[in-house]
């Protein structure tokens, strides 16, 4: 029933199919570089690529764009695979690696050399950049541009054999040093990098550039629609040049869409890596991170993330999406699916003088609407805890203003009795340390007489049967909408209070839950048992999100 989002790529694919331009299935791919964990922006790309393939009965590949061994690691490969699957997608066949095509790319480089379309260039990086010129100034041709085919073949072979040091020379395409598109000014095809590669080991010491690998990888895999972000728009002529000038097995086409940016956070792997490296967060999957694994640990469900991504327009401009839009989906999902439970964060003891001496086990629904979620047993005892903020001695507060427990007045305990606060016990400093109360008999699931009408409903936990739990209370990692906008350094906008750890008392039924179980702690917020640290013996819950949108911002 959700409206179909604006997506300019959908009609392009439909037209290609209608016009018979796609001979087999529609094939897309998601091509992460394994140099970090996936973030919310990647989630958009995943939902788009896998979603379109699904919609058109096609296939989507997972391809690791692993052409730069210096920054890549196996850990990231594993994390990326896990995140894609957790989001609910499965790639076609095995995962693929650009590195498994290195032999083919190398042969294609030789092909270009033999056609007189590539040459080995010995300019230093500084000289090369000077020769390239800039957008409004044509570049100068490299003095090495006219090397003969034979000379280039010999030099390229030497590059491959490791006879030159890193940076000594590169292989470049011979295109057009006067092109207004900088990417066409004899771009680099191969660099010397004497680095161990996580997939190919020490087999290679020359590595293809992104541009020389990406489109050809698409062509090898029979990708029909190669969807990437806008920064590659200017690379498209080069993408097409390679496809046109090489004997590739298929002719993929590239389409660019706007990157997803969200306010109050950063979505660049470089920045996220810095947060991890400088230990500003506890790791890539810290619940404050906008990474898929961080959001998962925070308690966001895959369904909610997909709903968010599917609701985003796929357009030809970058934009900043309000985080409230994401939070809306998270709350909607949890409101429907999280079991209700009670947990007292700031306990105040209440002794109910006329309660039974042994626990009374009450049957309480796990969800107010979803009957299928069943019931739980909730122990009601003589000593209970309520939240300190739910009690006041100030009898002048109106029922409308303070819908909680007031001395001499009535309140309902959620799922249990209506009680009345009779007196208080104070410490030396005059602070209330205990409330003495009495219950109104026969009020479980039934209204009291009209003169005992409760002010409101509050949550509570048995002091004797409740269990101590650790709560990790998270706030936004950044305290401003556009981190770094004012000072130029996004680290200046880190929220110093983004994590508070407290002890709280929870009803006993929940502590034995599996990790990653979502709850609504009534009147407090949505929480999830921590994926890694939670156990029945030492329960840990993360604050996923508050119950209502924070309108203070
Ligand atoms: P970053 O700048 O964060 O390092 P990247 O684009 O270099 O991101 P890749 O691993 O190359 O990261 O990305 C894999 C795919 O995800 C690419 O197709 C890329 O265009 C897409 N992608 C990355 N970031 C976003 C984003 N913010 N919004 C939409 N798609 C994105
Ligand atoms: Mg990239
Ligand atoms: Mg990058």
129-182: pLDDT as tens digits:
999 999 889 999 999 999 999 999 999 999 999 999 999 999 999 999 999 999
Average pLDDT value over all residues in the chain = 96
Q: Cα separation of 125 and 132, whole Å?
A: 10
Kindly report, residue by residue over 88-104, the tens digit of the pLDDT. 999 999 999 999 999 99
19, HSE (Cβ side, Cα atoms, 13 Å) = 7
- Taking CA atoms only, the protein residue closest to ligand 1 atom 22 is 42
C-alpha to C-alpha distance for 118 and 172, rounded to whole angstroms: 5
pLDDT reading at 4 higher than 90:
no
Q: Quick one: average pLDDT of 184-207?
A: 97
The alpha carbon of 381 and the centre of ligand 1 are apart by a number of angstroms equal to 55
Q: Is the pLDDT of residue 1 over 60?
A: no
**259 CA: nearest ligand 1 atom:** 28
Pocket lined around ligand 1, Cβ cut-off 6 Å: 31-33, 41-42, 44-45, 65, 228-229, 259-260, 267-269
Q: What are phi and psi of 454, to 5 degrees?
A: -70, 150
Backbone phi, psi, residue 232, to 5°: -95, 5
The pick from 28, 41, 262, 268 for probing ligand 1's pocket by mutation, whose C-beta has the most ligand atoms within 8 angstroms, reads 41
% residues pLDDT > 70 (the chain): 99
Residues tagged active-site: 33, 259, 269
Please state the pTM of the whole predicted model. Answer: 0.95
The answer on pLDDT for 553 being more than 60 is no
pLDDT in the model for residue 251: 97
- The pick from 28, 42, 228, 275 for probing ligand 1's pocket by mutation, whose C-beta has the most ligand atoms within 8 angstroms, reads 42
Closest residue (by CA) to atom 9 of ligand 1? 32
* Confidence check: pLDDT of 551 > 60: no
Domains of the chain: 9-262 (3.40.50.620), 269-337+469-506+511-545 (2.40.240.10), 344-465 (2.40.240.10)
Question: Which band of pLDDT confidence, cut at 50, 70 and 90, is reported for residue 77?
Answer: very high
Instruction: Note the pLDDT of residue 503.
Output: 98
Q: What is the DSSP letter of 414?
A: T
Confidence band for 85, pLDDT divided at 50, 70 and 90: very high
382 pLDDT higher than 80: yes
What CA–CA distance (Å, rounded) separates 534 from 63?
A: 34
Nearest ligand by distance to the CA of 260: 1
- Per-residue model confidence as pLDDT tens digits over 246-287: 999 999 999 999 999 999 999 999 999 999 999 999 999 999
Distance CA 45, CA 40 (A): 9
> What is the ipTM metric for this complex?
0.96
Ligand 3 centroid – CA 274 distance (Å): 13
Each residue of 295-309: pLDDT tens digit? Answer: 999 999 999 999 999
Task: Report pLDDT digits (tens) over 394-428.
Answer: 999 999 999 999 999 999 999 999 999 999 999 99
pLDDT tens per residue, range 342-363: 999 999 999 999 999 999 999 9
Residue 260 alpha carbon, nearest atom of ligand 1: 28
Query: Residue 520 burial by CB count (10 A; 0-12/13-18/19+): exposed, middle or buried?
Result: buried
70 CA distance to ligand 3 middle (Å): 13
- CA nearest ligand 1 atom 23, residue: 42
Cα of 42 vs centre of ligand 1, distance in Å, is 6
175: tokens are 């295109």
Range 183-206 average pLDDT? 97
Give residue-wise pLDDT tens across range 209-231.
Answer: 999 999 999 999 999 999 999 99
346 C-alpha vs ligand 3 centroid, how far in Å?
44
Query: Rounded distance, CA 32 to CA 38, Å?
Result: 8
Residue among 286, 522, 519 at smallest CA distance from 387: 522
What is the 399 CA–ligand 2 centroid distance (Å)? 58
Confidence of residue 3 (pLDDT cuts 50, 70, 90): low
Nearest ligand to the CA of 229 is: 1
Q: Taking a C-beta distance cutoff of 8 angstroms, is the pair 238, 187 a contact?
A: yes
Compute the distance between CA of residue 69 and CA of residue 366 in angstroms, rounded to an integer. 50
- Tell me how many degrees the CA angle 142-129-136 measures, rounded to the nearest 5: 95
Confidence of residue 5 (pLDDT cuts 50, 70, 90): confident
> Ligand 1 atom closest to Cα of 44?
29
Which residue, 127, 221, 138, 217, is CA-closest to 172?
A: 127
pLDDT digits (tens, 9 = 90+) for 454-486: 999 999 999 999 999 999 999 999 999 999 999
3-class SS string, 452-504: HCCCCEECEEECCCCEEEEEEEECCCECCCCCCCCCCCHHHHECCCCEEEEEE
Would you give the DSSP letter of residue 27? E
Q: Model confidence over 425-441: pLDDT tens digits?
A: 999 999 999 999 999 99
**103-127 residue pLDDT tens:** 999 999 999 999 999 999 999 999 9
Identify whether the C-beta of residue 168 lies closer than 8 Å to the C-beta of residue 192. Answer: yes
**Closest Cα to atom 25, ligand 1: which residue?**
41
Choosing from 79, 211, 229, 313 the residue with most ligand 1 atoms within 8 A of its CB, the one to mutate for a pocket test is 229
Between β-strands 225-229 and 253-257, what pairing exists: parallel, antiparallel or unpaired?
parallel
């Amino acid at each position: 029933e959700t409206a179909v989002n604006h997506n300019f790529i959908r009609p392009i694919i439909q037209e290609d199919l209608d016009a018979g331009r796609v001979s087999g299935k529609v094939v897309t791919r998601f091509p992460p570089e394994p140099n970090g964990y996936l973030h919310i922006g990647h989630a958009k790309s995943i939902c788009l690529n896998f979603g379109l393939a699904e919609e058109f009965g096609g296939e989507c590949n997972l391809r690791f764009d692993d052409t730069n061994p210096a920054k890549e690691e196996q850990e990231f490969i594993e994390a990326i695979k896990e995140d894609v699957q957790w989001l609910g997608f499965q790639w076609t066949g095995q995962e693929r690696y650009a590195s498994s095509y290195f032999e083919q790319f190398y042969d294609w480089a030789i092909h270009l050399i033999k056609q007189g379309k590539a040459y080995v260039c010995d300019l230093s990086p500084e000289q090369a950049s000077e020769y390239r010129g800039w957008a409004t100034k044509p570049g100068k041709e490299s003095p090495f541009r006219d090397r003969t085919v034979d000379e280039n073949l010999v030099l390229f072979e030497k590059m491959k054999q490791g006879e030159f040091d890193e940076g000594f020379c590169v292989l470049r395409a011979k295109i057009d040093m006067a092109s207004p598109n900088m990417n066409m000014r004899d771009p680099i095809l191969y660099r010397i990098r004497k680095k161990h590669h996580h997939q190919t080991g020490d087999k290679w010491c020359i590595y293809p550039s992104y541009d020389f690998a990406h489109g050809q990888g698409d062509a090898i895999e029979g990708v029909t629609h190669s969807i990437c972000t806008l920064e590659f728009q200017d690379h498209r002529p080069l993408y097409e040049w390679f496809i046109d000038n090489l004997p590739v097995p298929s002719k993929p086409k590239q389409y660019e869409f706007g990157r997803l940016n969200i306010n109050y956070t950063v979505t660049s792997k470089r920045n996220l890596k810095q947060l991890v490296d400088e230990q500003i967060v506890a790791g890539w999957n810290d619940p404050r991170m906008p990474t898929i694994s961080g959001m998962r640990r925070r308690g966001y469900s895959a369904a909610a993330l997909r709903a968010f991504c599917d609701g985003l327009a796929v357009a030809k401009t970058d934009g900043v999406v309000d985080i409230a839009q994401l939070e809306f989906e998270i709350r909607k999902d949890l409101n429907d699916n999280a079991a209700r439970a009670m947990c007292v964060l700031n306990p105040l003891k209440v002794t109910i003088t006329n309660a039974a001496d042994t626990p009374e086990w009450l049957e309480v629904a796990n969800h107010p609407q979803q009957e299928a979620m069943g019931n739980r047993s909730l122990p009601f005892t003589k000593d209970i805890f309520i939240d300190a903020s739910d009690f006041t001695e100030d009898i002048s507060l109106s029922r409308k203003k303070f819908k909680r427990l007031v001395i001499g007045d009535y309140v309902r305990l959620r799922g249990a009795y209506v009680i009345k606060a009779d007196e208080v016990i104070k410490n030396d400093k005059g602070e209330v340390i205990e409330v003495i109360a009495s219950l109104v008999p026969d009020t479980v699931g039934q209204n009291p007489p009209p003169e005992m009408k409760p002010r409101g409903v509050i949550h509570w936990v048995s002091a004797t049967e409740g269990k101590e739990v650790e709560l990790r209370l998270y706030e936004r990692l950044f305290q401003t909408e556009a981190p770094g906008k004012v000072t130029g350094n996004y680290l200046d906008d880190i929220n110093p209070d983004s994590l508070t750890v407290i002890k709280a008392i929870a009803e006993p039924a929940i502590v034995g839950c599996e990790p990653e179980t979502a709850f609504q702690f009534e009147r407090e917020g949505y929480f999830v048992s921590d994926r890694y640290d939670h156990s029945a013996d030492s329960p840990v819950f993360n604050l996923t999100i508050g119950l209502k949108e924070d309108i203070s911002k």
